[in-house]
Structures are given as structure tokens and as C-alpha cells.
Amino acid sequence: MNTIYTLLPLLIIVAASLLVMILEVFFKREDRSYLAYISLLFLIASAAACVKFWNKSYSYFDGSLSLNNIVLFIIIILIVATFLVVLISMKYLTLQNANYGEYYALLLFALSGMIIMVSSADLIVIFLGLEVLSLSSYALAGLRRQDEKSNEAAVKYFLLGSFASAFLVLGIAFLYGATQATAIPSVVEGLQSGSSASTLGLVGLGLIVVGFGFKVAVIPFHMWTPDVYQGAPTPITAFFSVGPKAVGFIVLLRIFAPYFQDALESKLMFGLLWFIAAITMIGGNLIALRQTNVKRILAYSSIAHAGYLMVAILARDTQSLVFYLTAYLFMNIGAFAAVISLGKRDHEYLELEDYKGIGFRYPWIGATFAVFLISLAGFPPTGGFLAKFYVFSAAVRQGLISLVIIGVLASLVSVFYYLRIIIYMYMKEPSYEVDIHIDNPSLFLALFLCLYGVLQLGIFPGNILLLIRQAVTSLPLF
Amino acid sequence: MEIPILSIVTFLPAAGALLFIFINRDKENLLRYLALIISIATFIASLFLYFNFNAQTPDPQFVEKAAWIGGGINYHIGIDGISLYLILLTTFLMPIVVLSSWTYIQKRVKEYLIFMFLLQTGIIGVFVSLNLFLFYVFWEAMLIPMYFLIGIWGGKRKIYATVKFVLFTMFGSLLMLVAIFYMYNLFYKATGTYSLNIFDYYRMILNPSVQVWLFLAFGLAFAIKVPMFPFHTWLPDAHVEAPTAGSVVLAAVLLKMGTYGFLRFAMPMFPDALKKFLPLLGILCVIGIIYGGLMALIQKDVKSLVAYSSVSHMGLIMLAIFALNMEGIQGGIYQMLNHGLSTGALFLCVGILYERSHTRMIKDFGGVSKQMPVFSAFFMICMLSSVGLPGLNGFVGEILCLFGVFKANKLLAILGVTTVILAAGYLLWMFQRVMQGPITNDKVRSFKDLNLREIIYLTPIVVMMFWMGIYPQTFLRKMDVSISNLLNQVNRKEAIFTEASKEGIKAPAFIMTEKVKETDTTAKEDKGSQ
């Protein structure tokens, strides 16, 4: 059934972003929070469309865009992420003096780019989606125009991002040269048939790894991450740490899961990704130890998590990857939401010193933040533990035992800095008053939703797991 | 419908913690009384386990099983003669701990009680789990409340101590997790079903060369928890910095999780590897015994003296368990309970002194017994129980342990006996310096003797000390069958594997004994849904 309706989830988002952009002109500055409500409505509509298409499989534009259960599931994850980001942004924008109407429009554009990326198996279309995502991201990073750090973030992100895009295009060109195809299945097939073009193909794959390695922030392509995460408005940082990372990994999985099935041909690339995964897990966690700014700690933590996700790619396990992304979405956005909640007009509390005694001064915020940190560190009974459990267990199944040992030891290191934030919150006496703007209902809704998500996924993940499992087995991604 | 009594014992404390969240933090006394009621209720519920326990069967009892996540991960709990007593010990100590921190904890009572009760659920959960995943969840989840207990209510170096405690423990358990993955995967290859049921793993006989690695991973996690020399360094820090109640729980129950882990997992699952490592383990135990004792002799702080005495005592317990005979393991388990009682009681006594003087240095005391005669009597009984005076519980345990070790290895037994000698040395000397002699510090003159609350919570412990010392049969009887089952398990496996390799089968990674019976219906369902 190839009708235009198959594009419905995507079209709703695009329509919403255009609408928000137009309406912005008509709203007064103080009324702009209505734009957020409109965005939320459209996000819900789009998610509903995804649910409606469940168990049906569509493809459109000669297969350049295709929807099936697992893609729909990932789209829903992305929509939920954006939904939460909108919730945590509402008050933040007014408080931090960044209440621009284009904010929500850009956010929705970025989402539409991500939806294009995950629903396509064609490298050119993926690139198209990536550019939509990237251009909106650059603008979002620099949203706080008066803030030097935010400007720095935007420029850094833009410059390095353009490089990465260039690498990606070059990689696609090489792959086309090697296999005369841009659709991922044919590309992989072409590479595996092992002709003389394989060197060309390897270079192409390598360049693609560089391009996406940048997007998902794995070491050694991570240099931009801490500065951008620190400089960008905090809700946008939350968005960056989840959305682009998720789609990047989905695309990598699409390419490498079938490619790695041929163990002999793919040895070199496998080794490369193995190395990247190991160094990302070790490096991300080790550097995070030295940070004193909470946003930077979370930035390096997100690098480390990219390493764990890379392990799932190497294990070729869609199920654990998708589950990890789901759990990661809740715990990471939740952690950023907690960071945002500790702010007042024109000021955010971001240094570790500010967190002294927060746990008792604001018990609910402190406790939820602690839960997110514990989940990020991978303690049971939270979603973060189960996510790691599935990824590492899948990796052991594929015989990647040494990588798993590196992974668990790296996560031991991570325990130290996650707990360090908790130490400041609960075990040190405050040396000065931290005064926060507490009237922020949408943020607390987001905090609650994330908390619920983390605990549900940690204690009773049965339904979600079943859903993912069925989606994966009925129609694999690749 | 049967009452899920074991689940109630496990989760009643957690339910209590949940209840506390919704109580106003200013109503401190309400919180304390509620805590006392809940902890006593849990204890009573656990007594039901004791009285309905069938000592004739080695199979797990009070089994509850429910599908949980799938893929072999089930909610599967049950107890046997080994775990029964550790659960009782935990629930028995909890009301005492709550009473002991009645006035000791003045700030943040609400959070304190919440973490205390979550900790209790975590500990009991470890002892009842029959599913490796469930076990691991409790094992790790228990770290979090302990982390807060030491970190918030601890002494001067609390943050150092608590971080060290968490990182040490996690290091071991993460490697154990990898080993669990490996076995999980191996079992799936062997049978085509996913299972994390420990009885399925008992039936899976692994190639000795594989066993070595798995044993190292599991053993490390448990050895850190026990702690065995040279992994003990976290213990003195954690003990000294923790609040009194934290030290009591830590010494009395938490350390037993390590020994329990050996008995339940590492030994029956990897018997060949165990035998390979026995000489090394024996030596480490003896070093622990002597080193712990010598370190205790030179401590200036009463609390760290007791902490080091733990290292020494736990060494003897492990040595007895590694004797791999009836007396040894029985003595080891009995001594686990004794150590829980007497070391717990010693920490309580130190806490009582600290509440009055705000110091724990031995030199600051002297002649306390003149001011506190009642306390002096209690303290002396607890101290003598730890030394192992006949008539008190410690003696029975130590004698059994040493019998067992003597049967297995005479040299180790001779070296192991030093634990008794050293204990007599450091404890009596400490008692002499703290309680007797002239009063040198004027502060001591202002000490008040025990109040009613303190007498109330010390009395049950002392009663138990006499009971366990005079009539140990009450306790030993119910362990026998479980222990002989364990010994069969350890010895039988080896026999089968040697036969198989004699027949010229090229060493496979594993052999399944009997057809995995009903790898239980749940596991089969899992296969369908995978």
C-alpha cells in the first residue's frame, strides 16, 4: 500500500514546524509558550499516527522511505524525546532569556530530519535527513545569542559538523564507486561479494564511520562534545545527547549489522569499531572524572554511553540497542531536567559546588536526580542496569568477552563520577544558599515521566521488551 | 491461596521505606516507632519460616516463582537450611539496630530509616534468590543504601570510606556479571533454552579449564565482600566511619553475603576449580586470620580494633568452609551467626561508649566499669563470646570450625587456632584498658549507666549468645541436610567429569547431568518468546 499517508508521522512534524514558524509572528513575546503547546499536540498526533501504522509495513518513493515496526518504535522514541525536551524548555526559555519562537520550529525540523534518517535505507536520503537535523542543531546550539559560550558552541558545532558531513558525502561517493549503489542492502551485498573494489569500499566505510562517529560522539571524534554540550541551552544539550545519537546508531546498525555477518571480509572494520568502542568507553569515563561542571560531566558520560552502544553494534543486536536507547533517553533527559530545575532567572547552577546539600534542601529534585545518576551508573533496579545487562549479554553471546570486560570496568570508573554528584548533593554541607525558581510545572511533569520510565524499564520492562522483540523478529531493520 | 510468606519477609521493609517517604520529616518519633513496629513484624514473619521449615529435605522451601522479564529471568525465591539462619539473623538484628540508633541519629531520621529498610530488603533478597539475575539485582541494589548510610551519617572520613566501599564491591561484582553472561550463554547453547535458575547451573558441569575463570570471577566478588586477605582494605575504613547501626549491619550481615556467595554459587557450581585453588585459598585465610589479629592488637581506636577482629574471624570462617567436610561447613555457618551476634554486639557497645564520650580512642577511657556496672557486664559477655569462651556461642562455632579444618589439613588447623589466641589477646587487653583500672579521664566520671532502651536491645543478643552456646542443637539440626547436599554437589560433579574424560570424550566446555528436568515451564515459554 504505497500511499502518501505512509509519510503521515513525518508530515505532521513538518507541518507543525512550519505552523509554529508562521504563528510566531502573530504571538506576542510573552504568549509564546502557546507555541510549545501546539508543538506538543502535533508530537502526540505524530506518535498516534505511528501507533496506527503498527504491524503494517509501508515503503514509499521506491523504497527510499520505509516504515516497519522497528522503525516506528524508534520514531516513537524520538518523538518522546522531543516531547520531553519541549516540556523542559518551556519555563527555561523565559527564565534564561531565550524565548524565541523559532526554537520549537527548529526542534521540530531537527526531529523531522531524524525521522527521515531512521526510516530510510538509502545513504543519499539518510544524508538528506542528516543535513536537516544538523542545520537545525547548529542554530539551536547558538540560541542564546547574548551568551559567548553559546556562540562558541554553535561555531564549533558548525565547523566540525560540516567537516563530518563532508566526510560522510565522500564516504557515500566511495561506496557508490565501489558498489554502484546507494541503498544500504545493495551496498553491503556489493562489498561482501568481494571484488577488487574492496579497498575503495573499505575507505568508503571508514569515511562513513568518521561522519557518524562525529554525530554520535565516539572517541576520537568527540572533541566538540563537551564544549557544545556546555555552551548550548541545557534542554538542547539534553536533546543532542539523545536524539542525534540514537539515529546515528540506528544508521550504523543498518550498515554494519549485515556487513559484520561475513566475518572474514569485515575483519578490518570490525577491529576498527572494536577499538573505537573500547577507547570510547575507557576515555569517556576517565576524562569525566576530572570535570567539575555538571553539564560537562554529563557530556563525557554521554560519550561513554556511546561506547556501550557501540558494543551493541558490534554484537549486531538490534533488540538490546533499541532497549538501551529507550532507557538512555529517559535517564539522560531526566538528568538534564534535574539540572535545569536547579536554576533561577538568568542563572543556572552548573558547578558541582552548587550542588552541596541540594539533596536535603530540595528532597524531591535531589532524589529523582540521584535515581537518574544511579541509573546512568548502571545500578539495579533501574533501566540503566537492564540496558547494560542486555547489551553486554548480547556481546558475550557473540564472543566479545574482552570487550565486555573493558566495558564493565569502564562502567566501574563511571560509578565514581556519578556518585560524586550524589556526594555533593547529600554528603556535603552547603557553603552558600542556592535559590531556585521552583514554579515550573511542565519541568516537573517531565521529571516525573522520566523517573517513571527509568523505574518501569528497570523493574517491569516486560511489555517494552516484548514489543521490541516482536518488532525485531517480525521485520528486521536490515 | 498460600500466603507468600517469603516475599513478605523480603519486601515488608521496603514497603516500610515507601511508607516513610510520605510521612512528614518532623514527626521523628512517629517514624521511629513505625520503624520499630515494621522491623519487629518482619522478625515475627521470619520466625514463621523457622517453625515451618522442614529439616528433612535439601530442596528449597517456601518457593515462590513467577514470570518476570523473560529470557530466563524469573522471580524465583526459596530458602534452605543455609539461608534460613542468615535471614533470621538479619531480621533479628533489625529491631535492635533501630533501637540502637534511636538517639544516636539526630538529623535526617526519615532518610536514615528509609535507607536502613531498603538495605534490609536488599540483604534478605540476596539470601532468598534462586535466580542468578534476581540475586545480582539484590546484590548490587544493596550497595546504594549502604553508600548513603555511610556517606551521610558517617564519621570524618565518611566520603572516602563510602566511595572505597562501593568501588571495591562493584569491581568484584562486575566481573561476576560477565561470568554470569558467559554461563547464561553456555547454558543456552547446551539446551536451547534460556535459564538463570541456579539449580540448572548446578546440573551443568563445566570443563575445569572454563571453571577456573568463572570461579575466579565469582570468587573475587565474594572474597571482596567477605573480605578475605588481601581484599580487606575497604573494611576497616567502612566500619570505622559508618554510624553504629551501619557497622552492625555491615559486620553482622553484609559480610555474610560473601561467605554465603561461596556456599551457594562459587563452590557448588565450580567444584573442580575450587579444588584447584584450595591451597591458595587456605593460605590466604590463614594470613587473614593472623594479620587481622595482629592488626587488631595494635589499634588505638576501639572500633577499628573490632573491625580488624572481623577480618580475623572471617578468615577462620572461610578456612572452615574450605575444609569441605560436614564439621567445617557446619562450623563455618554457625560461626557466621556467632560472628554476626558478637561483633554486632561489640559495635553496639562501642556505639554506647561513643554516644557518651564522643571518642573511640582506647586511651581516653579507663575504669568505665565503675561508672557503668550494668554496661560492663553486657560488654564483657559480648567480648567473651567473641573470644570463644565455653558456654557462649563463639566456642561452639570455633570448635566445629577447627575440627573441620583439622580433618582436612593439620597444618592449617594449627595456624588457624591462632585466631582464638589472638582474639583473647586483643579483646581482653582492650577490655582491661577501657573498662578497668583507675579512672584517668574526668569525662568518664560523668558517664551514665545503660538506660532501659539500651538494656532492652542488648538483652536479646546476650540471651541468644547463651542459648547458642549451651544448646546449639536448636540451630544445627536444621542445617544438616542442606549441608550434606552441598557436599554431595561439590564432590559428585568432579566424579562425573573425570569419568567423561576417561571415556575419551574430547573435553567439551560442559556436560549436562540428567536431562534438565522441567528446566521449568517458564523457561520453555521463554524459548517461544525469544
pLDDT tens sequence across A170-180: 999 998 888 88
pLDDT tens-digit series, residues B202-212: 877 778 888 88
Integer Cα distance of A331 and B132 in angstroms: 25
pLDDT band for B294, please (50, 70, 90 cuts).
very high
Instruction: Please give the Cα distance from A54 to A73 (Å, whole number).
Output: 9
Question: Quick one: average pLDDT of A435-453?
Answer: 88
Please report whether residue B524 resides in a domain.
no
* Domain boundaries, given as residue ranges, for chain A: 4-474
Mean of pLDDT values over B310-333: 90
Spacing of C-alpha A238 from chain mean position: 8
Q: How confident is the model at residue A249 (pLDDT cuts 50, 70, 90)?
A: very high
What is the Cα–Cα distance from B270 to A195, expressed in whole angstroms?
49
CB atoms A401 and B141 under 8 Å = no
Domain that holds residue B309: 5-514
Decide if B108 and A461 are in contact by the 8 Å CB cutoff.
no
pLDDT value for B139: 92
Q: Which residue has the cell 507555541?
A: A35
pLDDT at residue number B495: 55
Instruction: Report pLDDT for B517.
Output: 41
Q: What residue of B is the nearest CA neighbor of A357? A: B152
**Average pLDDT value over all residues in chain B:** 85
Residue B196 and residue B2: Cα distance in Å, rounded? Answer: 25
Which of B146, B177, B210 should we substitute to test contact with A (largest number of A Cβ atoms within 10 Å)?
Answer: B177
Asked if B174 lies within 8 A of A411 by C-beta distance, the reply is yes
Whether the predicted pLDDT of B121 surpasses 90: yes
Which of A409, A426, A461 lies at the smallest CB-CB distance from B174?
A409
pLDDT in tens, B223-243: 999 888 888 889 888 888 888
Structure confidence at residue B530 (pLDDT) = 35
Cβ-based neighbours of A123, under 8 Å, separated by 6 or more: A172, A175, A182, A183, A184, A187, A208
Q: Please give the average per-residue pLDDT across A442-464, as a whole number.
A: 90
Q: Looking at the domain assignment, is residue B150 inside a domain?
A: yes
Q: Say what the pLDDT of residue B512 is.
A: 60
10 Å CB burial of residue A428 (0-12, 13-18, 19+) is middle
| pLDDT score at A194 | 64
- Any domain includes B66: yes
Residue A238: per-residue pLDDT: 93
Mean per-residue pLDDT, B376-383: 90
* Nearest-CA distance A393 → chain B (Å): 5
pLDDT band of residue B190 (cuts 50, 70, 90) is confident
Task: Tell which residue, B289, B312, B318, has the closest CA to residue B414.
Answer: B289
Average pLDDT over residues A261-266: 73
- Whole-angstrom Cα distance, residue B240 to residue A131? 58
Q: For position A381, what pLDDT does the model report?
A: 87
Of all residues in chain A, the percent with pLDDT exceeding 90 is 42
Instruction: Out of A379, A411, A423, name the one closest to residue B141 (CB).
Output: A379
Average pLDDT (A133-147) is 88
Is B273 part of a structural domain of the chain?
yes
Torsion sign (Cα): B422, B425, B430, B431: positive
Find chain B residues with C-beta within 8 A of A423's C-beta.
151, 159, 163
Please give the Cα distance from B136 to A190 (Å, whole number): 45
Contact A416/B163, CB-based, under 8 Å?
A: yes
Mean pLDDT for the stretch of residues B371-395: 88
* Distance (Å, whole) CA B155 – CA B165: 14
Average pLDDT rounded to a whole number, residues B253-268:
90
- In this prediction, residue A57 carries a pLDDT of 75
Q: Please report whether residue B526 resides in a domain.
A: no
How much of chain B exceeds pLDDT 70, in percent?
92
Euclidean distance between CA atoms B275 and B512, whole angstroms? 20
pLDDT of residue A189: 83
User: Residue B285: is its pLDDT beyond 70?
Assistant: yes
Give A259 to chain B, closest Cα distance, Å: 23
Query: What does the alpha-carbon distance between residue B71 and residue B76 come to, in Å, rounded to a whole number?
Result: 13
Q: Do B167 and A416 touch (CB under 8 A)?
A: yes
Residues A3 and A11: their CA atoms lie apart, in Å, by: 13
- Angle between helices A383-397 and A363-377 in degrees, nearest 10: 0
Asked whether residue B503 carries a pLDDT value surpassing 60, the answer given is: no
Residue B128 pLDDT > 90? yes
In a domain, B522, yes or no: no
Phi, then psi, of B242 in degrees rounded to 5: -65, 155
B523 in any annotated domain: no
Residue percentage of chain B with pLDDT more than 90: 28
Q: Is residue B530 domain-resident?
A: no
Helix (H, G, I), strand (E, B) or coil at A393: helix
pLDDT for residue B497: 55
Q: What is the pLDDT of residue A96?
A: 78
B93: distance to nearest CA of chain A, Å?
Answer: 25
Torsion of CA A454, A459, A461, A462, to 10 degrees: -170
Instruction: Quote the cell numbers at residue B109.
Output: 531520621
Q: At residue A301, does pLDDT exceed 50?
A: yes
Distance from CA of B506 to the nearest CA of A (A): 21
Q: Alpha carbon A192 to chain centroid distance?
A: 30
Per-residue pLDDT of A87-119, as tens digits, reads 998 888 888 777 777 889 999 999 999 999 998
What's the pTM? 0.91
Total of domains in chain B: 1
Pairing of strands A343-344, B204-206: unpaired
